[in-house]
């Protein structure tokens, strides 16, 4: 491994220089099963990228590696061209500006909608700083603005557990707004939504993606087509194809493993 790293060092500099996320040869195995098998791809700053792939292709593991939940066995994961993400934990990575939206909406059900946003709000995260933190006027305004964007203003003081599924999804997207990340990962953001909700969610996402880099993991082909961005197809833990949706849909191997089914 160390030898490898030395050899690859010059390549990092060139390719990683203009990237927000850089994965090279990332391998993760669970009991001999390779969830990620030498996965490599690059996301440019400001880019929106969609990741598709059948179940077990390694999409969730990939996000776990990027957010520090899982340590890769091998490979390089760089953020912003020079920060080695494998050396940091989830909280540190979140504070660097990487936000993650889970497939199943996970909001804090015993807290109110407002309090959920308050916890997500960008700001000092030290234990004592949080203990003494007071909500300043501008922070309150920021939360109110987010509440408006996610259309939950009138539910601000109800507990998040009482929201509908779609509203929980929006609250989670709202928490990402409040967190104000530079790089955003969304895991099936429209799963389980009605058509109307999907439409509204796509609108919200377009808004949040405007000045950020975004990675979307998605199954819904219609939604992917609407996003209209570069697509990376994962299969058995590595990249099978990359390019526009039209291009990957025409790829023989992609049709075989995924789209053809």
Partner 1 sequence: MGPITRRLAGLENRKGWTAVLLTVLGFALVVPVLNMALEPGHPLHVPTYVVQLLGKYLCYAMLALALDLVWGFAGALSLGHGAFFALGGYVMGMYLMRQIGDRGVYGNAELPDFMVFLNWDSLPWYWMGFDSFAFTAVMVLIVPGVLAFVFGWLAFRSRITGVYFSIITQAMTYALMLAFFRNEMGFGGNNGLTDFKDILGFSMSRDSTKVGLYVATVLMLAAAYLAARFIVTSRLGRVLLAVRDAESRVRFLGHSVTGAKLFAFVVSAMIAGVAGALYVPQVGIINPSEFSPANSIEIAIWTAVGGRGTLFGPILGAMSVNAAKSFFTGVAPEVWLFFLGSLFVVVTLFLPKGLVGLFGLLKRRQRRAMPKASPTPAPKATEETHA
Residues in contact with partner 1 by the rule CB under 8 A: 67, 69, 89-92, 94-95, 99-100, 102, 106, 108-111, 115, 118-120, 125-128, 130-135, 158-162, 175, 179
Of 49 and 101, CB closest to partner 1: 101
Minimum CB separation of residue 77 from partner 1 in Å reads 16
Burial class (CB in 10 A: 0-12, 13-18, 19+), 81: middle
- CA dist 12 and 24 (Å) reads 9
Of 101 and 230, nearer to partner 1 (C-beta) is 101
Query: Minimum distance between the CB of residue 172 and partner 1, rounded to whole angstroms?
Result: 9
For 47, phi and psi rounded to 5 degrees?
-80, 150
The kind and range of the H/E element at 72 are none
Q: In the complex with partner 1, which residue's Cβ is closer, 53 or 99?
A: 99
**CB nearer to partner 1: pick between 29 and 112:** 112
Here the tokens at position 172 are 């989670």
Read off φ and ψ for residue 93, nearest 5 degrees: -65, -40
In angstroms, what is the minimal distance from the CB of 99 to partner 1? Answer: 8
In contact, 184 and 99? CB cutoff 8 Å:
yes
Among 30, 77, 255, 260, CA closest to 183? 77
Closer Cβ to partner 1, 132 or 246, answer by number: 132
**Residue 108 Cβ, how far from partner 1 at the closest point, in Å?**
4
Task: Say how far apart CA 108 and CA 111 lie, in whole Å.
Answer: 6
> 174-204: buried (b, 16+ CB within 10 Å) or exposed (e) per residue?
bbbbbbbbbbbbbbbbbbebeeebbebbbeb
CB 81 to partner 1: min, Å: 21
| CB of 144 or CB of 242, closer to partner 1 | 144
Cβ(87)–Cβ(162) under 8 Å?
Answer: no
User: Least distance in Å: CB of 205 to partner 1?
Assistant: 18
């Amino acid at each position: 491994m160390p030898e490898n790293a030395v050899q690859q060092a010059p390549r990092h500099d060139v390719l990683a220089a203009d990237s927000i996320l850089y994965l090279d040869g990332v391998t993760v195995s669970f009991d001999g099963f390779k969830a990620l098998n030498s996965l490599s791809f690059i996301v440019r700053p400001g880019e929106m990228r969609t990741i598709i792939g059948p179940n077990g292709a390694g999409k969730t593991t990939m996000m776990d590696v990027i957010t520090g939940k899982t340590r890769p066995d091998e490979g390089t994961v760089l953020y912003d061209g020079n920060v080695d993400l494998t050396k940091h934990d989830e909280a540190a990575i979140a504070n660097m500006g990487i936000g993650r939206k889970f497939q199943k909406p996970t909001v804090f059900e015993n807290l109110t909608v407002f309090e959920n946003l308050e916890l997500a709000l960008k700001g000092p995260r030290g234990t004592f700083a949080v203990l003494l933190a007071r909500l300043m006027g501008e922070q309150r305004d920021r939360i109110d603005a987010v509440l408006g964007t996610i259309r939950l203003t009138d539910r601000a003081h109800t507990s998040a557990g009482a929201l509908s599924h779609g509203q929980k999804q929006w609250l989670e997207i709202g928490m990402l707004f409040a967190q104000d990340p530079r790089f955003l990962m969304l895991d099936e953001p429209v799963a389980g939504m009605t058509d109307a909700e999907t439409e509204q969610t796509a609108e919200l996402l377009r808004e949040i993606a405007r000045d950020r880099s975004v990675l979307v993991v998605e199954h819904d082909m219609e939604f992917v087509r609407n996003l209209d961005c570069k697509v990376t197809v994962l299969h058995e833990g590595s990249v099978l194809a990359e390019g526009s949706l039209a291009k990957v849909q025409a790829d023989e191997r992609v049709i075989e493993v995924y789209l053809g089914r």
